[in-house]
Structure 1
Amino acid sequence: MTYIVTLTPDQVTDNEDDWLVSERFTKGLPTGLDTSDTGTRLAFLVCDSRARSANNGRHGLTDHGRFITWMGSVQRINTVGPVDRSITIEPMRRCPKPVPLDGTDGILASLPSTHRAHVERALSGSAGHFGMTTWQALREALLRRHPELARYIDWLLAHLNPLVFNVEDAADRAWQEQKDAAQTLTRVTDFPHSALSAWGRPSSRDEPYLAGLIPDPVENSLIDHDVWAGLGGEAPLFDDWRQRGDVRCDIHVLEDSTGRRLEVVNVNATPVESRLGTDMIYYHHPTHSFILVQYKRLESRHKEYRVNKQLLDQMDRLEQVSQLSSTPARSHEWRLSPDACFLKFAHWRNGAASSTELAQGMYIPLSYARVLLEDDCTLGPRGGRIFSYERAASYLVGSEFAELVKLGRVGTVGTSVEQLRDFGLQRAREGYSVMLGFETSDETPRERAVRTRSRSAKNRPKVNSYSPPTSQQP
């Protein structure tokens, strides 16, 4: 189904500031409306200004009529009661300008009569929908008169129809892990998950996940013009990596209106068939601390990982990271343990997961992995060692891990940006796909903790999402 939600100008005004931040809107459906999970699952928010309002001018709606002002993806159909339903529209994007439905220049006038009747029926109440053939006619009419909407529709459909990864293919496995690492970075930093999830396969199997990122359609032209002003005239910290001949590097930036900024860097240096797996590295610049997560895939049938010499060698190398840490000297430098490296033993369900869904798995600190390897609980029937859910009862799940990182309870102490850069390149050259997040802000440790513990979406700052241009080589 393709949904239409009709609102008054006052309702749009009351909600719009929240939509710009939360990217989410839940709307009740009329009782008895078919909620079959079919069709595009796109949603169009229509502002009905036929009854003139003092607020119409704010939205550029100086004329009477109905206008498409927002569009989004229906990610969930919720059960409210025995018969009542609602839809959750997420993510949402505001149209670059209101799209008129009525009048000689309106979209409805260009639709065949049958499809126009279907759209009118969907518009007759507070919420309605229509089928695929009407959607195809509406899409053709929209893009004929408003071609700028193509990138909005493509971006939203990519969220609704994530690609199915082939777990037997080395490139798909690598992209699947890097996608999970990218989504983990948005969770530990509280940036929108949607910014890094609309994706299509890159042209080359050896390219990083970010090479296939479908860009956020909002304000692309403004970003192209003002990007350097937003960066204070400075290139991204890892911009020079994009000019190297020995690595492939892609960068995407998330920046909110308070100045808090996440530079996401995706780099590799080897052909995909010879890669060792994926590393996620997150560096919090205000506290000079980073954590590393190395991905390991659980065997799909029994959800087990059989320990081999390669894993043991990799654990030895990861333990050297602890040598980069200093002794805590201030309260915010205290950590629950000296562990800065974690193993994520992950498994993926068959088929396409949600575009923002994390892989299920266990986060195990390196020191705890060592303890498990000395404990009979991981001893297999033939004498080998096995990691699994049943054998590692004290693992962390994704939400627990993210909370510890957000609060600064895990990670290195006193590590420099230079050490981070050297370490990130080293990991790529050793054969790993690296997804690196570099966060900067003016937050104090206390302000960071207050933001992390706040569950309210109100008063959250607006976020810009963009791929910065490569600077000119000196």
Structure 2
Amino acid sequence: MTYIVTLTANQMAENEDDWLLTQRFTKGLPTGLDTSDTGTRLVFLVCDIEPGRFITWVGSVQRFNTVGPVDRSITIEPMRRCPRPVPLDDPGGILASLSSTHRAHVERALSGSAGHCGMTTWQALQEALLRSHPELARYIEWLLANLSPVVFDVEDPADQSWQEQRDAAQSLTRVTDFPHSALSAWGRPASRDAPYLSGLIPEPVENSLIDHDVRAGLGSETLVFDSWRGLSDVRCDIHVLEDSDGRRLEVVNVNATPVESRLGTDMIYYHHPTHSFVLVQYKRLSPNKEYRVNKQLLDQMDRLERVAELSSQPARSHEWRLSQDSCFLKFAHWRDGAAPTTELARGMYIPLSYARVLLDDDCTLGKKGGRIFSYERVGRYLVSSEFAELVKHGLVGTVGTSVEQLRDFGLKRAREGYSVMLGFETSEETPRARSIRARTRSAKKRPKVNSYSPPASPQPSSDAPGS
């Protein structure tokens, strides 16, 4: 179904300030309205005001809610304000360009506070909208991509790699408290070897808001990893998230090898104010949710243990960590190839030192002498939410590592054969302010966020792969 919600001018005015912050609206549905989970699940919010009716917001149905024995409601999230109101009623309005049949279906949906139309009417409505308002194309494309995520082939190496990289991207938004939707809308790239971010469908943002924020100072900083996009032996894509409080997350996705010879995916998160980073190495559990330890894993663990050598001893209170572990293994599994775009893969986060203990414990010993990681054999592990909380509060990670060390390490990992998803966060937050923000759950207190893929800067012709 494609839903149409009609509000008066007063109702719209009462809600718009809240929508701009939360991007969420829950709307009760008329009793008896069909809520079959079919069709596009797009929502158009219409303002009924003299001299007519106008589409002013677009969104998608995140979920259907049961209010009582009969009544139901929908939660619309995410939602975006249209670049300009779309008139429905004047001679040049959308309704006038529809056939009588489709116009009648839309009018029926508009007759109450909420209604819907079927797929054939939606297709006619979409054609009319994009014909007269082509600026809506990126809004509709982004919403539909979130509603209908790509189905991954879990037997295909390229899809496996993109699935892991997507999970790493979503993990970065979890530990930084940036919107998950900013990195979720995606289409499969043309090249199997391309990074996940190369297929990202950018989040639509009003041009007027971008212009205002640039004038206010956002978007003016130089990209720390921009030079990677000029290297001849790697493919690097960058996306930036910035909020109105001055926090900035530079998301860097780099590959240097063909997907068939790739070793897996690394997520690296660096918090610049505290000069600390955390690494997560992905390992895929088999369909029966087991991982058989092999020489490759043991060699990789040896290399990851050397990361601890980059860390200094804590000298200030915010540098204290629960342990010296800055590297984790995520033994992950996906229930199918089409998990919701903002859902993290189920799995076990295991600190490297704990993995060593497990490998010496009889609990991981297989019947034929090999070692196995599985839910049944690993008694304790972190889940995604627990891991994210530790990172948010700076309780895990390196101490005193420089940006130069991060750049060298990240590029080395890519050239060794890993897909690297790196998040580089900068801000003026104190450690205390960071903890307070991490504990704040109210969406109304969150600052506004810009999300964009910056163009690559011209690179000097003398740039070499090892520079």
TM-score normalised to the size of structure 2?
0.96
The alpha-carbon deviation at position 15 of structure 1 amounts to 2.1
**Match for 2:246: what amino acid?**
G
**Match for 2:395: what amino acid?**
R
| Separation (CA, whole Å) in 1 of partners of 2:198 and 2:144 | 18
- Please show how residues 233-244 of structure 1 align to structure 2 within 5 Å: 233-244=220-231
Equivalence for 2:167: 180
Kept in 2: contact 1:337–1:410 (CA 8 A):
yes
1:190 and 2:190 matched: no
Select which of 319, 328, 345 maps to 2:331: 345
The alpha-carbon deviation at position 79 of structure 1 amounts to 2.0
- Please show how residues 271-286 of structure 1 align to structure 2 within 5 Å: 271-286=258-273
| Separation (CA, whole Å) in 2 of partners of 1:179 and 1:351 | 12
The alpha-carbon deviation at position 283 of structure 1 amounts to 0.3
The alpha-carbon deviation at position 259 of structure 1 amounts to 0.9
| Separation (CA, whole Å) in 1 of partners of 2:151 and 2:325 | 34
- Please show how residues 213-292 of structure 1 align to structure 2 within 5 Å: 213-219=200-206, 223=210, 230=217, 233-292=220-279
Say if 1:232 and 1:152 are closer, same or farther in 2 by CA, change over 3 A. Answer: closer
Aligned length: 460
**Match for 2:449: what amino acid?**
V
Select which of 454, 458, 461 maps to 1:472: 458
1:319 and 2:319 matched: no
Q: Secondary structure at the match of 2:31?
A: coil
**Deviations 1:152-202, CA, capped at 9 Å, x for gaps:** 111110001101001111110100000000000001101011110110011
| Separation (CA, whole Å) in 2 of partners of 1:17 and 1:32 | 31
| Separation (CA, whole Å) in 1 of partners of 2:452 and 2:205 | 9
Q: Secondary structure at the match of 1:458?
A: helix
The alpha-carbon deviation at position 81 of structure 1 amounts to 2.3
| Separation (CA, whole Å) in 1 of partners of 2:445 and 2:10 | 20
1:33 and 2:33 matched: yes
The alpha-carbon deviation at position 144 of structure 1 amounts to 1.1
Equivalence for 1:357: 343
Equivalence for 1:308: 294
Most deviating of 120-129 and 207-216: 120-129
**Deviations 1:180-231, CA, capped at 9 Å, x for gaps:** 0000000110101111011001111111000000112213587599869845
Select which of 357, 360, 363 maps to 1:377: 363
Task: Give the gaps of 5 or more residues in structure 2.
Answer: 461-467
**Match for 2:222: what amino acid?**
A
Equivalence for 1:444: 430
Equivalence for 2:465: none
**Match for 1:287: what amino acid?**
T
| Separation (CA, whole Å) in 2 of partners of 1:346 and 1:253 | 27
Q: Secondary structure at the match of 1:258?
A: coil
Kept in 2: contact 1:183–1:358 (CA 8 A):
yes
The alpha-carbon deviation at position 359 of structure 1 amounts to 0.7
Kept in 1: contact 2:23–2:78 (CA 8 A):
yes
Kept in 2: contact 1:228–1:234 (CA 8 A):
no
Say if 1:470 and 1:237 are closer, same or farther in 2 by CA, change over 3 A. Answer: same
Q: Secondary structure at the match of 2:444?
A: coil
Equivalence for 1:7: 7
Kept in 2: contact 1:227–1:468 (CA 8 A):
no
**Match for 2:201: what amino acid?**
I
**Match for 1:458: what amino acid?**
K
| Separation (CA, whole Å) in 2 of partners of 1:31 and 1:162 | 31
| Separation (CA, whole Å) in 1 of partners of 2:186 and 2:152 | 12
| Separation (CA, whole Å) in 2 of partners of 1:272 and 1:291 | 24
Equivalence for 2:109: 122
1:91 and 2:78 matched: yes
Q: Secondary structure at the match of 1:70?
A: strand
TM-score normalised to the size of structure 1?
0.94
| Separation (CA, whole Å) in 2 of partners of 1:434 and 1:365 | 19
Q: Secondary structure at the match of 1:13?
A: helix
Identity of aligned residues (%): 83
Equivalence for 1:24: 24
Select which of 393, 401, 405 maps to 1:407: 393
Kept in 2: contact 1:293–1:343 (CA 8 A):
yes
**Match for 1:368: what amino acid?**
Y
Equivalence for 1:147: 134
Kept in 2: contact 1:80–1:86 (CA 8 A):
yes
- Please show how residues 60-75 of structure 1 align to structure 2 within 5 Å: 64-75=51-62
RMSD: 1.6
Most deviating of 309-318 and 344-353: 344-353
Task: Give the gaps of 5 or more residues in structure 1.
Answer: 51-63
Say if 1:404 and 1:47 are closer, same or farther in 2 by CA, change over 3 A. Answer: same
Kept in 2: contact 1:223–1:466 (CA 8 A):
no
Q: Secondary structure at the match of 2:443?
A: coil
Equivalence for 2:285: 298
The alpha-carbon deviation at position 21 of structure 1 amounts to 2.5
**Match for 2:192: what amino acid?**
R
| Separation (CA, whole Å) in 2 of partners of 1:222 and 1:428 | 36
